[in-house]
Structure formats: structure tokens, C-alpha cells
Structure 1
Amino acid sequence: MATPEPRIPTTAGAGPMSYAIFQLARAHRSYAATLLRAMDLHPGQELLLMHLFDRDGQSQSELLERLGVDHSTISKALRRMQDAGLVIREPAAHDRRVMVVHLTDKGRAMREPVTALWQSLEQTSVRNLSQQQAESFVETAHAITEAIGSRVLPGEHGNRLPGKAGL
């Protein structure tokens, strides 16, 4: 049985792919949030943990740059994570104005649960896709991300806009 086409608002008819991306992102984030709540995490905190699993002891600025979010978003997420005992923040030895983020033992222990959560999210996401469709989707998503990241506002010449996303 074919999956029915979702009804979209008539004004979104001018951008059906953009509306589909919005719906996809909302559904994916909602499911991820459900899985994360079971681990006492908020959406986006798992991404911070993943970057710290790869390299512990990053500055808040480095994490901000890797995730493409604003300073207040990183600060709020890290404050929650520190309150939960997952990370500690301390001034860098070379510059007391720079805050360095380290995983605690509790934070390091989240590696396997976060990996399992991400794997579950992936399995659910690709359940109705062939291997080729899944690979094509990833390539397409990267191409769209690049196109949006390199956009130029009307009337400007070559000024790139940074991509911002919430945590």
C-alpha cells in the first residue's frame, strides 16, 4: 500500500521540497527528543557529547564552531549538562577568559548509550528506504546543506551567510 501524500498548505506549494525538509526535520527531532528524554538529555546535547567523545577538552568556542550554533545556545546546553554531572567547564591555563569543556566519568559513560540511541534513530529513519535511497538521501542532504550555507542575499555579492541551528 502506497504512503499517501501529505497535505501541504497552498502557500507551501511554491516550495514543496522546503516543506518536506521542514516536516522531516520536525519528525526526526521529535523522535530523537523522545529517545533523548529517556536518557535525561535534551536535543542537541548528544551532539555536544559526540564531539567531546572524539576530543575531550575543547573550548566552548570550538564546540560552537563545530555545531554552528550561537554562544547562548552552547552556554545554556553546557550549563544543563554541567548541572547533570556530564561535563565540567574550567578556564584554560593559557587564557582564563577561555572556557574549556571536559567530560566527567558520568559523561564518558554516555558514549555507548548515545551510540545506541543514534543507531536506533538511524534504523528507524531508513526503515522504508533501500540502501541506495539512503545513500542518495545523505548525498542530497549534504548538497542542500552546502547550497544553503553558501547562499547570497539579493543585492549582495559573494557574502556568505553562516548557517545557524538551535540545540
Structure 2
Amino acid sequence: MNETNFPLCNIIIALVSSHRNLTTQRIRKLGLYPGQDMILMQLLQRDRQSQNELVQSLCVDHSTIAKSVNRLMKNDLVVTVKSEIDKRVTLVSLTSKGKDIAQQAQDVWNDVEKIATGDMSSEEVTSFLKLSEEMVRNFNNAMDKK
């Protein structure tokens, strides 16, 4: 893509790619695949969630959650049990090892946030967030109109 023709699109792509690459590199050092960190951190915030709750909160499809939960179980990071109220519901909980890795994943994300903002002032960060949120609204509004 020609940088001079689409400077905004190019910088957005570069920003997302750089963020994803750094985060993935650091998450992999924890022995996790990308996305598994999000499940662990979600459970760290509120443990014992159903797979459907994880699907909704993380905005991914059910098969992705099921596959990731199975991998996390194999690595002794989560356990599952059937709900006593509704046996069709599978509840996911962190193991003690899972809590430790989830905290490390959260530390990775905190570090990436600090790296991203570098020497930016709090006003610059606030301005960036405000402008980015406006762009997201613009994109979402454009999708709703089609």
C-alpha cells in the first residue's frame, strides 16, 4: 500500500501489527498461544465462568473458546466442571498454576501499555484515546449504514 496515498490506514496497520507482534512474543515466553492470555486474564478478574460467558466477554466464537480451554486444561492452567444448576453448562476455573500465569500475562499487558505510551504525557495519551475512540465510532457507524 502506498504510504502517501493512505497515511492513516498505513499507520493504523503498523500500530496494530507492532502491538500484536510484541505482545505475542512476550505471551509466547509464558508458554501461551495468543488469545489464551485473554481467557486467563478474564478468569483472573472473575473465576468460574461458563464457556458461553467467555465467548461473550471476549467476542470470539464458541469453538475457539472450547479449543483454547482444552489446551489450557492440558497445561494444568484451568479446570472445568459441569454446573450443578444446569448440567449443559461448563464452568471454567483457574488452577493455582493458571492464576500465576494469568498474573504474568497481565504483567505483560501492563508492560506493553507502558512501552506503547513511552514518554507521552498523560494529555497526549488522553488525546490519542479520544481520537481513536472517535475513529472506532466512525468505522462502526459506516458498517451499520451498509
Fold in common (TM above 0.5): yes
1:10 aligned onto 2:8:
no
d(CA) in 2 for partners of 1:152, 1:102: 37
d(CA) in 2 for partners of 1:145, 1:78: 30
Could you tell which deviates more after superposition, 133-142 or 36-45?
133-142
More helix by share: 2
Could you tell which deviates more after superposition, 54-63 or 117-126?
117-126
Displacement of 1:59? 0.6
1:67 aligned onto 2:55:
no
Q: Structure 1 residues 84, 142: closer, same or farther in 2, change over 3 A?
A: farther
RMSD over equivalenced CA pairs, Å: 2.1
Aligned match for 1:87, one of 70, 78, 88: 78
1:125 aligned onto 2:116:
yes
Aligned match for 1:103, one of 76, 94, 109: 94
Displacement of 1:50? 1.5
Aligned match for 2:105, one of 97, 114, 118: 114
Q: Structure 1 residues 102, 12: closer, same or farther in 2, change over 3 A?
A: farther
Q: Which amino acid counterpart does residue 76 of structure 1 have in structure 2?
A: K
With the length of structure 2 as denominator, give the TM-score of the two structures: 0.86
Q: Structure 1 residues 132, 50: closer, same or farther in 2, change over 3 A?
A: same
d(CA) in 1 for partners of 2:133, 2:12: 13
| Residue in structure 2 matched with residue 152 of structure 1 by the alignment | 144
1:36 aligned onto 2:16:
no
What's the % identity of the aligned pairs? 30
Displacement of 1:11? 8.9
Q: How many residues align?
A: 145
Which string of whole-angstrom CA distances, capped at 9 and with x for unpartnered residues, describes residues 92-114 of structure 1? 11222211111111111224322
Aligned match for 1:19, one of 4, 7, 10: 10
Q: Structure 1 residues 71, 123: closer, same or farther in 2, change over 3 A?
A: same
**Gap runs ≥5 in structure 1:** 1-8, 155-167
